Structure 1
Amino acid sequence: MIPDGLRFRAPASAVITEALRVQSAAPPRSALQRLFGMSPLSADAQSWYLGALGELEVGRILDRLGDDWHTLHAVPVGSQGSDIDHVVIGPGGVFTINTKFHEDAKLWVGSSRLLVNGQKTDHLRNSEFEATRAAKILSGATGQTVAVTPILAIVAAKSIQIKEKPARVVVLRAGELVRRLERYPSILGPADIAAVMHVAVDPTTWSTVEPPAADLTTFTELREAVGSARRRRLLWATVGMLVVIGGLLAVAGAVFWR
């Protein structure tokens, strides 16, 4: 019997907790700001918030894996507050998934670097580091060699150009995750999966610090408020556009009937 431990930890728990902590310092919006759809999200909380959206989306996608696959989310590692977005264990092996939300961005992937809109990132290095760290931890806990494959899952990008595949890190769109994972040849049997899962779900395998539970209710409320503000801005933009079009039509009509 595999204990629960991290089994039911919600996706994005760590980034949600940090997003809400940072957001708590933001001043409340005035009535006028709410009327015109100013986002309640502070600039400091923006990156954490978007990171949470990415991890939640990948968590939703990974739920489609078959029953012989197991996924752990927001796995705390070490004592400095680090975490691995997703650890996936199944017939195809063990995988760490580093999730990145890059809405409408253009990504360029080379053998050893990844650019987002032309800017260098540490995505490949960090993804490989996470897998190496996870392999060391799980191998030590099981007493067997556990190989871990790093995956970098990209959410909401406009385009991904893979010029040269990285030697170790698999880079793909989040929507391709299930198909890619299930296409890996089976290298772990049920007993192997159970052995790795037995230690992987135990928080003390990964860290001496107990992970905080995310306030999912408050984050949902924040997400709804952000969405409502965005819809209000779009409404005002539409109204403004209609006013301009109406003005132009009026001028055109006046000219026509002159």
Structure 2
Amino acid sequence: MAITERSNAQQARGQPDQAAEQRPPEGEPVADRPAGHGPAERPPGPRGLGDRLGDPAVRQWIQRGAVALVVLVAVSVVLNVKLGLAAAVLVVVGDLVRRSRTASSVEAWQKASAVERKTERQLKSLEKNGYRVLHARAVPRDDEGVSDGRIDHLVIGPSGVYAIDSEAWDKRLPVRTLSHRKLFHGPFNKKDRLDETRWEADLAGKIISEQVGFEVPVQGSVAIYGPSIPWKVMRVRDVDVYAGNRARGYLRRRPRVLTVTDVERIFQAAQESLPPKYPD
């Protein structure tokens, strides 16, 4: 099975030797860089505490709890414990409301199914080139298989494996990067959204790897519909970001790294281990 670099910059076998075999700076254009696949010495083991702490949703609750604890202690010392508890609860509720408004103020008008269908039509045209696609797949987050994560489009093909999320954003707000490490939609920092995409892609790769017995890296990406995107493909926080209408080209211009047998084997493993998010 051919080996090529993934998002963590593994160098492709048979590709020209580069000056440095390391991950490119975040935010660097990567239109021609493939996500890679290759056999691992051993399949990944069960997820540990570090993996769980890497979950963006878990990190948010840890941060929220830490702030609430500080407020509880401070108000309890100055006033009393009851007021401290009340203030801590208000901090948690206020943060939940703030994040909800931030996420929905720009994107409440979004029709996710519409943009997903646009991406689906692009991906369907790649079937004749040996690509297999699974839509709306759940990503289990714990040992009981509970999931609130979803990959809109899991693509397995000659050029690798990709987790693509289709996003509809307000076209009135510009999209920009800052220091090649942050992505903004107008005034809104999309860090959490990128971290969520990367987390789901990495977790999907671990789950599939356990099924097939060798490492299957999954490259996370976000296809954005609505605002103008001033680049072809930009890697920000290990996630590829591009205009929605470039989804097909994003995949087609990458070199072949998987055989037909590899594609089918990974597809079957993904189909069995990543259930439909909305089963019939």
Whether the TM-score (by the shorter chain) exceeds 0.5 is: yes
Structure 1 position 162, deviation (Å): 8.6
Counterparts in 2 of 1:18-29, with a 5 A limit? none
TM-score by length of 2: 0.54
CA distance in 2, matches of 1:179, 1:163: 10
Match of 2:185 in 1: 116
CA distance in 2, matches of 1:64, 1:83: 23
Structure 1 position 101, deviation (Å): 0.4
CA distance in 1, matches of 2:259, 2:247: 21
Structure 1 position 183, deviation (Å): 0.9
Counterparts in 2 of 1:179-194, with a 5 A limit? 179-194=249-264
Aligned amino acid, residue 72 of structure 1: L
Structure 1 position 76, deviation (Å): 1.4
- Structure (1 or 2) with the larger CA radius of gyration: 1
- Residues 211 and 165 (structure 1), Cα distance of their counterparts in 2 relative to 1, 3 Å cut: closer
Count of aligned pairs between the two proteins: 167
Q: Is it true that 1:90 corresponds to 2:157 in the alignment?
A: yes
Structure 1 position 99, deviation (Å): 1.5
> Of 195, 205, 211, which residue of structure 1 is paired with 2:278?
211
- The DSSP-based 3-state class of the residue aligned with 2:266 is helix
- Residues 159 and 181 (structure 1), Cα distance of their counterparts in 2 relative to 1, 3 Å cut: closer
Q: Which structure has more helix as a fraction of its residues?
A: 1
CA distance in 1, matches of 2:213, 2:121: 32
Match of 1:51 in 2: 112
Structure 1 position 87, deviation (Å): 0.2
> Of 271, 274, 279, which residue of structure 2 is paired with 1:201?
271
* Runs of 5+ consecutive residues of structure 2 not aligned to the other structure: 1-103, 141-145
Aligned amino acid, residue 81 of structure 1: D
Conservation of the 8 A alpha-carbon contact between 1:61 and 1:174 = no
Match of 2:206 in 1: 136
Extract structure 1 runs of 4+ deviating beyond 6 A.
Answer: 161-164
After superposition, give the CA deviation of every residue in 1:95-126 in whole Å (9 maximum; x if it has no partner).
Answer: 00011101313111343321111211222211
- Residues 102 and 49 (structure 1), Cα distance of their counterparts in 2 relative to 1, 3 Å cut: closer
Structure 1 position 86, deviation (Å): 0.7
Structure 1 position 186, deviation (Å): 0.6
Q: Is it true that 1:61 corresponds to 2:131 in the alignment?
A: no
Counterparts in 2 of 1:128-167, with a 5 A limit? 128-160=198-230, 165-166=235-236
